[in-house]
């Protein structure tokens, strides 16, 4: 086996099992370190599995409680351009504003910033043989999507969300 194959194997191994990316660790180049330092958790919404199943549609339940993903270009908000606020479908926490929404071409609603940093938590997601930065509602722990470092200025971030995890409230 040559050295190149060994090196590639080591890089893949680190990527899969032990080196969470900088976004998930809160160390990405555009991280707001004061937001992480001043983070005050919201009052938690805790429900039984049966209560969540009763409140949410089967698809909402699968995505928000079981960390599923809707198919691209199928969600209700991926191409919405109306002004308003996006709330957590589970608890109603205000998460994102249409003011930071952009067309990333990926088929999911994408935002370059959060509305309320204290309402969204970023954590390491190492499922499916990848290491990504998962975003969840800080209030009810609903899976919302993932954040990537390929977004537009000023943050350079792309918060890629599942439409089914959101409820849109149009501006008045």
Residues with a known catalytic role: 160
Handedness of CA 15, 151, 123, 71 (dihedral sign): negative
**What's 44's DSSP letter?**
P
Structure tokens at 6: 């060994």
Q: Are 164 and 75 in contact (CB under 8 A)?
A: yes
Phi and psi at residue 147, in whole multiples of 5°?
-120, 140
* Ordered alpha helix ranges (H), the chain: 3-17, 33-37, 49-55, 58-66
**What's 21's DSSP letter?**
-
């Amino acid at each position: 086996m040559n050295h190149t194959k060994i090196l590639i194997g080591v890089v893949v191994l680190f990527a899969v099992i032990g080196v969470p990316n900088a976004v998930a660790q809160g160390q990405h180049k555009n991280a707001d370190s004061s937001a992480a330092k001043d983070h005050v958790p919201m009052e938690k919404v805790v429900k039984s599995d049966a209560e969540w199943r009763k409140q949410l549609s089967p698809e909402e339940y699968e995505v928000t409680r079981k960390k599923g993903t809707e198919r691209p270009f199928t969600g209700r908000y991926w191409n919405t351009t109306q002004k308003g606020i996006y709330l957590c479908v589970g608890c109603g926490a205000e998460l994102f504003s249409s003011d930071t929404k952009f067309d990333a071409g990926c088929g999911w609603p994408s935002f370059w910033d959060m509305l309320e940093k204290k309402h969204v938590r970023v954590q390491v997601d190492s499922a499916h043989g990848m290491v990504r930065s998962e975003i969840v509602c800080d209030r009810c722990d609903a899976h919302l999507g993932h954040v990537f470092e390929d977004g537009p200025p000023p943050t350079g971030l792309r918060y890629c969300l599942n439409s089914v995890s959101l409820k849109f409230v149009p501006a008045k």
